[in-house]
Amino acid sequence: MQTKPVKHFISLITLIAALGGFLFGFDMAVVSGIIEPVRAQYGLSAAEEGLFVSFALVGCIIGVAFSGYLSDKIGRKKVLFVAASLFLASAIGFSLSGTYTVLIIFRILAGVGVGVASNVSPLYISEIAPAAKRGGLVTFYQLAITIGVLAAYISNLFLQRYAVAHAGTGTGLIHWMFAEEVWRGMFFMSIIPASLFCLLLVIVPESPRWLAKNGRNEEALDILVKISGEEGGRSELEAIREVADQKSGGVKELMKFPLRGLLVMTMVLTALSQFSGINGVIFYGPTILKSAGIVTSDALLYQVMLGTASMLFTLIAIWKVDTWGRRSLYLIGSFWAAVALALTGICFMYNVNGWGMLFCIILFLLFFAFSLGPLKFVIATEVFPMHIRGTALSICIMTMWVSDWIVNLLFPIMRDGLGIANTFFVFSFFCVCSFVYAKMKLFETKGKRLEEIEQLLSSGGIKSEVQV
């Protein structure tokens, strides 16, 4: 049984690592309040506006591409510090940028930070967490993302109203940044959590599993004792050392059996979770609800409402993922998310406007938030061997960003070409695909040490636990 100091230690380092998720959410969501004023100030064409938004994704892909390999080589903690530094530099640079070109540069830099954090933060948390609590702690990373999104929406709303109230009433740098050109202040606010992330990482230990893999057993043991107690720490180190002598692997090794099957499974689950249309619902939510006659103005206030719902619903995953298990939550959530999206499509088809429409959308957010949203991170951080975990996770996260790009690109085309009702039916179909695929391929990993999962996979013992 864990003592209070042990629990406090685990909670503290999880909170610090999860700041990467908070900044991920904040940096991606804050743009919702920036696009319109930046377009107006710089006279951006539609193509330039698209580049402004999409270059963040370019940065994400760059960040994911090198962070997995780098975290396997130099350690998880150092790469987390790279992410924190990128967040801080981009926040300062973006808010003080003078030209469109400089804006793009710092937008890419922010994207690189997001890409690194989206890969290494959940990886680090999974390797530091006790087996019995790992699902909930990794899911806390998803909660941090939703809190970051909500914080960005609230910050944007507050600063927008502050700018309106103080327009033409002052001078100086503060007035320029938070009233005259308020979009600068919106991005500048991320300096606070980015600075905090940089400072707090000083007290965060390296991943004990990475240390043991690199022969630093005494350092690994010191950390494991703080996490699992004296007896548990020594037992865990012994289990880690049994699998830590494997050679470092690369993409070629992932293409071999049985890792190839695991990689395909996690990539498919990740892609299908994004094809549920979550980003279409979040990013184009005001447009959707305006067409339903629910929202006529104040889109930022609407975003705060959806952001709050996503954050609260993610708590269900933290509460139940280590008792109900990954597989059960995934099946329940994907099935009912499909139902909620189909009901939303029916509402549009038969012009059922108003609060009925809003209820269906919030119902979808509920089931997504405790299944398709967080569990892709939990699953991808658990099923791969330690020596190749960073590289494998980076490929899965890359899949997430590419899928996001496809959804963001196609949603307006589908909305205008197929109609909004049929678009939601397509999203519902992909949730059905998630349910069917998880039913066939996803196995349960709750309560097992990462090394135990690795041994079961290598011996084929885990196959008996797969319910087809």
CATH number, residue 288: 1.20.1250.20
Distances (CA, A) of 209 to 68, 258, 378: 15, 22, 17
Is the overall model pTM greater than 0.75, yes or no?
yes
Label residue 246 left, alpha or beta by phi (over 0 means left) and psi (-120 to 50 means alpha). Answer: beta
212 in a structural domain: no
167 in a structural domain: yes
337/343 Cα distance (integer angstroms): 10
pLDDT of residue 458: 65
Whether 237 has a pLDDT exceeding 70, the answer reads yes
282 and 430 both lie in a single domain: yes
Boundary of a domain, candidates 204, 238, 269? 204
228: tokens are 């699992």
Closest C-alpha to 76, from 129, 155, 23: 129
232 in a structural domain: no
pLDDT confidence band for 87 (50 / 70 / 90) = very high
pLDDT of residue 170: 66
**For residues 116-130, average pLDDT:** 87
377 and 458 both lie in a single domain: yes
pLDDT of residue 397: 84
pLDDT confidence band for 442 (50 / 70 / 90) = confident
Label residue 99 left, alpha or beta by phi (over 0 means left) and psi (-120 to 50 means alpha). Answer: beta
Residue percentage of the chain with pLDDT more than 90: 18
Quick check: 391 and 254 in contact, CB under 8 A?
yes
Boundary of a domain, candidates 204, 226, 241? 204
222 in a structural domain: no
* CA contacts within 13 A on the Cβ side of 216: 15
Quick check: 145 and 122 in contact, CB under 8 A?
no
72 and 199 both lie in a single domain: yes
CA 257 to chain CA centroid, nearest Å: 28
188 and 270 both lie in a single domain: no
Closest C-alpha to 251, from 146, 152, 398: 398
Whether 198 has a pLDDT exceeding 50, the answer reads yes
245-270: per-residue pLDDT in tens? 555 556 677 777 777 888 899 999 99
267 and 186 both lie in a single domain: no
294 and 197 both lie in a single domain: no
268 and 413 both lie in a single domain: yes
Whether 465 has a pLDDT exceeding 50, the answer reads no
Q: Which of 60-64, 334-338, 345-349, 390-394 has the lowest mean pLDDT?
A: 390-394
**For residues 328-342, average pLDDT:** 92
179 and 274 both lie in a single domain: no
CA 277 to chain CA centroid, nearest Å: 15
132: which DSSP letter?
A: G
pLDDT confidence band for 291 (50 / 70 / 90) = low
342: tokens are 């189909």
pLDDT of residue 342: 93
383 and 297 both lie in a single domain: yes
300 in a structural domain: yes
Closest C-alpha to 150, from 38, 60, 28: 28
441 in a structural domain: yes
pLDDT of residue 3: 61
pLDDT of residue 464: 36
379-424: per-residue pLDDT in tens? 887 888 777 777 888 888 888 888 887 887 777 778 778 888 898 9
31 and 123 both lie in a single domain: yes
213 in a structural domain: no
205: tokens are 């230990």
Residue 162 is part of which domain span? 1-204
Domains: count for the chain: 2
188: tokens are 């500048």
Question: With 0-12 CB in 10 A as exposed, 13-18 as middle and 19+ as buried, what is 78?
Answer: middle
319 and 421 both lie in a single domain: yes
Quick check: 211 and 124 in contact, CB under 8 A?
no
Rg of the chain's alpha carbons, rounded to an integer?
A: 22
379 in a structural domain: yes
Label residue 351 left, alpha or beta by phi (over 0 means left) and psi (-120 to 50 means alpha). Answer: left
38 and 104 both lie in a single domain: yes
CA 246 to chain CA centroid, nearest Å: 30
| Mean pLDDT of the residues in the chain | 81
Quick check: 243 and 213 in contact, CB under 8 A?
no
Residue percentage of the chain with pLDDT more than 70: 87
Boundary of a domain, candidates 204, 227, 244? 204
